[in-house]
Structure 1
């Protein structure tokens, strides 16, 4: 065979992508944000903190300080577990909130989303069963799906997980873990009451199940009393992984999260992190530690929560006029989201294109369900816009829903 004949031969097909990349779809939230990025669209779809409330000056000052005073360290590789100064500050904050924590109990991650991925790597074998809330944080469903888990939704009500249903599923399914966002859940905004947290902790301890307690929103409370972490309850201390994040209280662009876990699991997550990214960026960690040392994060969070409370009130005030008669919605005491359900027969996925034509957007509820989706549901984020913008967005939402109903 000549060289010329070789050059004109058809190329062999490449090996296929891994099966998990073909079976797990992208994020509908990210897809909607890409479509609705136009500035004229009032976007209730994304879980985006209000940028006007970022303490940009304080964060910039923290970066300037570490880059001026210790540039060699700030720009160098770091340990996988995280910068000691940041872990010490995080341990102190966690202890002050009722859960005794040592810096060595923590692993700093590149956002709490990475913490979920590390846990999936360390805990889940293909075919393992994972229990989740119904509905559930969408990106957690993606992580567990990529890990090859069999994801089963735990029935609940307006207060969250039903402990009786949980125990029945634990006995029948023998799950590896339960994943929950018990405080100001994404997507519903609901909070699991203390008596149910006690029951969940007791079931996990008696039945031998890991609990992954995700708490990105817990500090954003604007009414009611704080409920302790499940991780602090008897029976759960040695089997609960607590996830935290600066994304909602400082800034998501920092990509700083952490996990608190028992030693053996934490070490396994550290090995998984070494394979993933070696360590979270040093300069970001040192800047966050400096911010915590020089500024009052609690005072900043109090200001943010007050603003978000006013925005929640604006959304709740306008929903009755925006949504069809017979709709229902949650009334969160904190966090970022309201979950709504339209009357039977409505499909919020099918309605969305008409709503977007009216320059407003939401996230349909169907993708948040691990099992049979409730197509009449939707999630609304109330923190990104001002109260006036929220009122205008709800006016547009009402127009869009009515126009879609007229077409059908």
Structure 2
């Protein structure tokens, strides 16, 4: 015994010794009431200092795994040893087993089936990956983030480490309300809820708007954000998709659908739409809002990538065009612009709605991490955001134009869409199945996201793909697109 102890990593040695002895106790290798070696003996057995063993033994006692008898030494506590034996540990009896997959309900099974990450591609090391639309971490200004953290902790660190408020960190709410006001939003009669990113905010809103007596009905652009499709389905909504045109949703088709069906909500991404990258024109924004108002359909607006505008004038969000009306629920996040690791998003909407959402939030997660909220607030307050966005926009615009040029050169068969953001969307002739194309490209060391994942109905969009370029080097962008182009041409010849 004690011959298999090995020090690993940079963790404190006393903690490693404590956890090693604890594992021996749990496994039953050390029995209840058994005396442990003296600190001097254990020091020699494990080849660590005696003070290290003393600290480890004190930790074991604090955790209730051992007890000490003055003048005699340390002993294994009976309760711990008995627990291990009862559960099939020390005595070799059969452990209690449950078939958890058989216990899963429809919601859980659907979550697994719709889990894009679990169904994703397992790429080999060195693969050129166009699957990500996350920001490039090389652009993160760590010094400014570190300074924001230190500044806020110095001001109210003890408060930040305690429980926060379900509605959110008030300084951040006040800042973001002003931020949205600067986008042209009339904030009178509106409130804000801070969430753990877009996805939590969307899920909370859906759970509040889901009908109790029947399946809900939602309308959205087609294609649309896969996470939105997944959550709408998990919340029991039937989804109707309306095709996209070069300047946004097909308004005529939208009007025709609204005349023949009733809907509980609409989900729209008017700026740098995921996956097409299209920015809805001002004329269409106005037309869409008039239709939604006429049919009294609440709109959930996804503020996806709004800051990554590379050309043209600022286009006001839908919630701004609503004026003092309360029919639009805006969900925002800086995850695609700033730092996805800070899981902070917000829901802006009618005061009565936010009051209800606050209670749902409190029941689920109590509150979003106050530390995360406060770091973001201080970072914004210090004036870092505009400086960072200017740098990020310049770099992403360069990569966008580079990717677009390579696509035009090496993929002339594809129709491109995307006015900004971190990706391009490609539509090929019907003879190109992008699932099969992905298999062929994977063998050549290139992967991308097949576009059918973003369409409402199975079998749609099989000739489309999304190309994320934000985290790909210039050299790999060119090389990867060349490889895709060669495979496309072989498909078309076949």
Match of 2:473 among 383, 386, 407: 386
* Structure 2 partner of 1:364: 450
What displacement does 1:328 show?
1.1
SS across alignment from 2:341: helix
CA separation in 1, counterparts of 2:231 and 2:242? 18
Alignment pair present for 1:187 and 2:275:
yes
Larger Rg: 2
CA separation in 2, counterparts of 1:398 and 1:280? 45
CA separation in 2, counterparts of 1:198 and 1:293? 33
What displacement does 1:122 show?
0.6
Q: Deviations over 1:349-405 (max 9, x none)?
A: 122122112222110011111125120000011222233331122123234445666
Structure 2, gaps ≥5 residues long: 1-92
What displacement does 1:266 show?
1.4
Structure 1, gaps ≥5 residues long: 1-6
| The 10-residue stretch of structure 1 (141-150 or 66-75) with the greater mean CA deviation from structure 2 | 66-75
Closer/same/farther in 2, CA of residues 111 and 268 from structure 1, 3 Å limit:
same
Output the TM-score relative to the length of structure 1: 0.91
* Structure 2 partner of 1:107: 193
1:3-402 correspondence to structure 2 within 5 Å: 16-24=103-111, 25-28=113-116, 31-32=119-120, 35-36=122-123, 38-101=124-187, 105-125=191-211, 126-234=214-322, 237-323=325-411, 325-330=412-417, 332-371=418-457, 372-402=459-489
* Structure 2 partner of 1:4: none
Contact 1:202 1:234 in 2 (8 A): no
| The 10-residue stretch of structure 1 (10-19 or 313-322) with the greater mean CA deviation from structure 2 | 10-19
* Structure 1 partner of 2:49: none
CA separation in 2, counterparts of 1:55 and 1:100? 32
SS across alignment from 2:353: helix
CA separation in 1, counterparts of 2:191 and 2:174? 10
SS across alignment from 2:103: coil
Closer/same/farther in 2, CA of residues 27 and 305 from structure 1, 3 Å limit:
farther
Contact 1:354 1:404 in 2 (8 A): no
Contact 1:204 1:235 in 2 (8 A): no
Closer/same/farther in 2, CA of residues 83 and 13 from structure 1, 3 Å limit:
closer
CA separation in 1, counterparts of 2:434 and 2:261? 32
Closer/same/farther in 2, CA of residues 285 and 102 from structure 1, 3 Å limit:
farther
Greater relative contact order: 1 or 2 (C-alpha under 8 angstroms, separation 6 or more)?
1
Contact 2:277 2:420 in 1 (8 A): yes
Q: Alignment RMSD, CA only?
A: 2.3
| The 10-residue stretch of structure 1 (365-374 or 15-24) with the greater mean CA deviation from structure 2 | 15-24
CA separation in 1, counterparts of 2:267 and 2:337? 22
CA separation in 2, counterparts of 1:40 and 1:176? 46
